[in-house]
Amino acid sequence: MNVLEVRLGELSYPIYIGSELLGDSAVLTPHVGTGGALIVTNETVAPLYLQRVKHSLKDIRHDVVILPDGEAHKTTTTLELIYDALIAGRFSRDVTIIALGGGVIGDMAGFAAATYQRGVRYIQIPTTLLALVDSSVGGKTAVNHRLGKNMIGAFHQPACVIADTSALQTLPDRELRCGIAETIKYGLIRDPEFFAWMETNLGGLLARDEDLLAQAINRACQNKAEVVAVDEREQGERALLNFGHTFGHAIETGLGHGEWLHGEAVAAGMCMAADLSVRLGRLRQDQIGRITRLISAAGLPLRAPRSIPPERMLELMALDKKVLAGQVRLILLDDIGSATITADFDADALRDTLSACREVA
């Protein structure tokens, strides 16, 4: 087991990365408060891992709420089910909420923890690669609104993150590829050596080599932890972690949440951001070739769906959380491993990107 630290002063917490951690009571129980626990999971994950987590809690009082699976259920209506379980179970401010699942479960359970009785403790136990390398770390919590993704949320740091790499062996291939998209992102925005490592080792990652997966998770989490430590509330550098997301969130909202998986939309969004970076003279053409080759080799989309016209994409991008003073801000690449957030870009170049980077009919 490897242990990383997210350094946030009094809000600091460990990330435990290793195999077979889900049933390890010595890892989980020290982070559970005195008021018992509510395990929040979903219909897909519960049959696989719920009993192992329950067993690791030993004699600690706990209840369970099992939510429907999928991005389409990341809503305030589903969130009410968590509050119902907390109130019905008479849990007070010393409860610990345990998020057992992918990014949707982590985001909803975390938001419930941020808001129940004005804030309670929670633990992230991610079971997808995307959640392991991204959404479980950093304290971003949210639910979707019909007009935009993650528009209702809060920053609320977990007590710990327990990243069990063995859980990835049951992950569907499509979900694995989505996690690889978010892993590639770290190489593109700040870690060129990691991007090159991904180029060399992608085949092993897709084959679920546990040693390679553990290395990728460690490197990605280290990158995320370093960024969060200097910018918890996304006032500066942390915004770079949203590379590709302004385009990607527009795709998700335009199609309807859940039609494309988050990692698929982000993969296409990263390609669109790279295309715009080339059009603006920031990024060399040969570099976008490396980017699209790696994303394509991972089995991820390179273009937005043709069903969303460019003008609709622009409308949806204007709802992005990074919009400031009415201006869309985008994360663009200056090099592989170097990114900038800016509102200073040619609007016609953006329209050209949105037109060019669409699926062929």
Residues assigned a catalytic role:
118, 140, 182, 224, 234, 238, 242, 245, 249, 262
Per residue in 147-161, is it b (16+ CB within 10 Å) or e — as a string? ebbbbebebbbbbbb
Among 152, 104, 128, residue whose Cα is nearest residue 49: 128
- Annotate 123-165 with DSSP letters as a single string: EEEE-SHHIIIIITSS-EEEEEETTEEEEEEEE---SEEEEEG
CA gap 147, 359 in Å, rounded: 23
CA-only gyration radius of the chain, Å: 20
Cβ–Cβ contacts within 10 Å for residue 361, how many?
Answer: 4
CA gap 269, 130 in Å, rounded: 16
CA gap 287, 276 in Å, rounded: 13
The CB-based long-range contact list for 321-329 (8 Å cut-off, 24+ gap) reads 321/150, 321/151, 322/239, 322/242, 322/246, 328/246, 329/239, 329/246
Per-residue CA distances from 268 to 28, 272, 353 (Å): 37, 6, 12
Helix (H, G, I), strand (E, B) or coil at 193: helix
- Annotate 9-36 with DSSP letters as a single string: GGG-EEEEEESS-TT-HHHHGGGS-TT-
